[in-house]
Structure 1
Amino acid sequence: MSVTSENRTHDAAAFSLWRHRFAFPIRMGSGLATILKGVPLLVVFFAFWEAAPRLGLLNPIFFPPLSVVVEAWLEMIRTGVLGRNIGISLQRATLGFALAVAVALPLGVLMGRYARFEQLTDLMVQTLRNTSQFALLPVFIMLLGIGEASKVAICFYASVFFLLVNTISGVKSVDPLFLKAARSMGASDLDIFVKVILPASIPSIAAGARLAVKASIVAVIGAEMLAAQSGLGYLIHQSQLMMETPDMYAGILTLTFIGLAVNYLLVALEARATAWRGQAEGAPH
């Protein structure tokens, strides 16, 4: 190989290393730029929200100006009401999601890995998956009571199938050649799972986790509106019943901000978890 070819190879390898090392920050910067492009429209929406009730376009009793909502929001923060209810809701949603992970991952691996096991369980999974979690809330309450257990159960039920389906899909997408190569080198079933199946399934599992977290939050808010004495959903529903509309909208805005924060956090984590795919695609063959 000539000196020029060696230099080109070295430069290409260096560029590839640089690109993969800084790929995640670059993607983050691109995502931030996309968000900033949407800010003007959001400002217009908030300006309309402030002006419409004051100009008589909307009834301020049912749709108070944004500044009034912000005042109510700050007051709930000062008194600790908002923080306490947010903490309760997030605790319920997180616990339900954690239980879903504990059940969906091993079950998804078994269903994706062993066709006979999938044939035995798929009909039951599809039946439960297509039953609304809110339709089952009365059942959860009768079985588990009106306390924390029923709220956690509905969060679990809402999120487990997103994880399960994506785990099955991820396991099935593993290249059979990788499995044969691992077995030919004497790898045990545990080694194959840890070093082949799990890494190859991570992109699909991460996408399922993103959907599952959202489903868990939506489920806990719905459950708290229907049967709870605490939580962000209860706060919104109770404010509506008492015609405390600024508090109600403050709770809704809080839920929106939480959803946005969770969404962008999960997008960043998913990008981080799947960064190895870009490295593998860019690696020399």
Structure 2
Amino acid sequence: MSTTTRTDAKPFVPAPRRPVPARPPAVPSTAGGRVRSVLLALVTRTVAVAALLALWETAPRLGLVDRTFLPPLSEVVQAWWELLADGQLATHLEASLVRSLSGFGLAVAVAVPLGLLIGWYRPVADLLNPLLEVFRNTAALALLPVFVLILGIGETSKISIVFYACTWPILLNTISAVRNVDPTLLKLAKSMDLPAPRLFQKVILPATVPTVFTGIRMAGSFSILILVAAEMVGAKAGLGFLINSSQFNFAIPDMYAGIITISAIGVGFNLLLVSLERRFTAWRLPSSS
């Protein structure tokens, strides 16, 4: 029986394999990445302060400094808590805040409108500039005896010296802000035939807000620093009085407790002003980094 071979059969070719798509790399969750970035920022901002506090606690205990003049931080915290518990700290804190905020508030209410007026109207600037140059170079603490002699050792002299010290950074920054408004914005506004009041409201005021707040933040720190010096002269209450009397009575932990309280007030006041600045400048576009 004869077999026949088929010559027309096609050779077997295996089907090509389909490429397996590569698995995309795992993308970290947005929430997890945000939490890590927040924690990293928190650690970065607090590591220096934590190191300083740790050094303050350990240096006196190790004998690196005399603990009579620099007690450990734990003793200072204990003294601060005792002052808070018996009401002394609240009394001194209330007296200082009333004086500081009164002088600071008066300075903002007077210096901002005056700075806008001087920066916008050249005749007013020419009239007041010589007087401003005289007083801006006179330190507030140098005039403290003058304020005490004229206004006495009561509340008026202390609020007045705070008002004087806070006025200059606000006033000078406001004047500079008005004079440094972008000329292009002014030309565009004038080309639209805006009247002077509308030009001032729509262009000048928004453009000056960031620089004005810089002066306000500087004045906020001055209101605390100058007040402490003023309360060391003839005061019966206040954080400056607490620090001064604790030094004379050699209550060193109480003295440092007062210093820490002043630092905490300054930091908190600055954070409050920063939040207000962000609120009033929310219209600004964030800078791309």
- TM-score per shorter chain, which class? 0.7 to 0.9
For 2:123, the equivalent position in structure 1 comes to: 116
Letter in 2 for 1:61: T
What SS does the corresponding residue of 2:141 show, helix, strand or coil? Answer: coil
For 1:46 and 1:37, how far apart are their aligned partners in 2?
15
1:133 and 2:140 correspond: yes
* Structure 1, unpaired ranges of 5+: 1-25
Kindly indicate which of the two structures has a greater share of residues assigned to helix: 1
What SS does the corresponding residue of 1:142 show, helix, strand or coil? Answer: helix
Once the two structures are superposed, the pairs formed by residues 1-285 of structure 1 within 5 Å of their partners are 34-179=41-186, 182=189, 187-278=194-285
- The alpha-carbon distance between structure 1 residues 114 and 148, as it changes in their structure 2 partners (threshold 3 A), is same
For 2:31, the equivalent position in structure 1 comes to: none
What SS does the corresponding residue of 1:204 show, helix, strand or coil? Answer: helix
Instruction: Give CA deviations for 1:81-117 in whole Å, capped at 9, x if unaligned.
Output: 1122112111111111111112211211121112222
Q: 2:60·2:66 contact (CA, 8 Å) conserved in 1? A: yes
In the TM superposition, residue 142 of structure 1 has moved relative to its aligned partner by 1.4
For 1:40 and 1:136, how far apart are their aligned partners in 2?
40
Largest Rg, 1 or 2:
2
In the TM superposition, residue 274 of structure 1 has moved relative to its aligned partner by 2.3
* Structure 2, unpaired ranges of 5+: 1-33
- The CA RMSD over aligned residues, in Å, is 2.4
Instruction: Give CA deviations for 1:25-74 in whole Å, capped at 9, x if unaligned.
Output: x9xx9898545314233223222222222232222221111111111100
- The alpha-carbon distance between structure 1 residues 34 and 159, as it changes in their structure 2 partners (threshold 3 A), is farther
In the TM superposition, residue 258 of structure 1 has moved relative to its aligned partner by 1.4
Instruction: Give CA deviations for 1:192-212 in whole Å, capped at 9, x if unaligned.
Output: 333222111111111111111
In the TM superposition, residue 184 of structure 1 has moved relative to its aligned partner by 5.9
Q: TM-score, normalised by structure 1?
A: 0.81
For 1:95 and 1:30, how far apart are their aligned partners in 2?
40
Q: 1:111·1:168 contact (CA, 8 Å) conserved in 2? A: yes
Letter in 1 for 2:273: L
Instruction: Give CA deviations for 1:207-245 in whole Å, capped at 9, x if unaligned.
Output: 111111111111111111233111111101110010000
Letter in 2 for 1:78: A
Letter in 2 for 1:170: A
- The alpha-carbon distance between structure 1 residues 53 and 157, as it changes in their structure 2 partners (threshold 3 A), is same
In the TM superposition, residue 265 of structure 1 has moved relative to its aligned partner by 2.6
Higher RCO (CA-CA < 8 Å; seq separation 6+): 1
What SS does the corresponding residue of 2:207 show, helix, strand or coil? Answer: helix
Letter in 2 for 1:116: P
Q: 2:224·2:262 contact (CA, 8 Å) conserved in 1? A: no
Q: 1:206·1:273 contact (CA, 8 Å) conserved in 2? A: no
- The alpha-carbon distance between structure 1 residues 31 and 163, as it changes in their structure 2 partners (threshold 3 A), is farther
For 1:163 and 1:102, how far apart are their aligned partners in 2?
10
Instruction: Give CA deviations for 1:224-273 in whole Å, capped at 9, x if unaligned.
Output: 12331111111011100100001001111111111222222322322332
For 1:101 and 1:59, how far apart are their aligned partners in 2?
44
Q: 1:206·1:270 contact (CA, 8 Å) conserved in 2? A: yes
Q: 2:153·2:233 contact (CA, 8 Å) conserved in 1? A: no
Instruction: Give CA deviations for 1:92-149 in whole Å, capped at 9, x if unaligned.
Output: 1111111111221121112111222212211211110110111111111111111111
For 1:192 and 1:181, how far apart are their aligned partners in 2?
10
Q: 2:116·2:175 contact (CA, 8 Å) conserved in 1? A: yes
Q: TM-score, normalised by structure 2?
A: 0.80
- The alpha-carbon distance between structure 1 residues 188 and 143, as it changes in their structure 2 partners (threshold 3 A), is farther
Q: 2:100·2:162 contact (CA, 8 Å) conserved in 1? A: yes
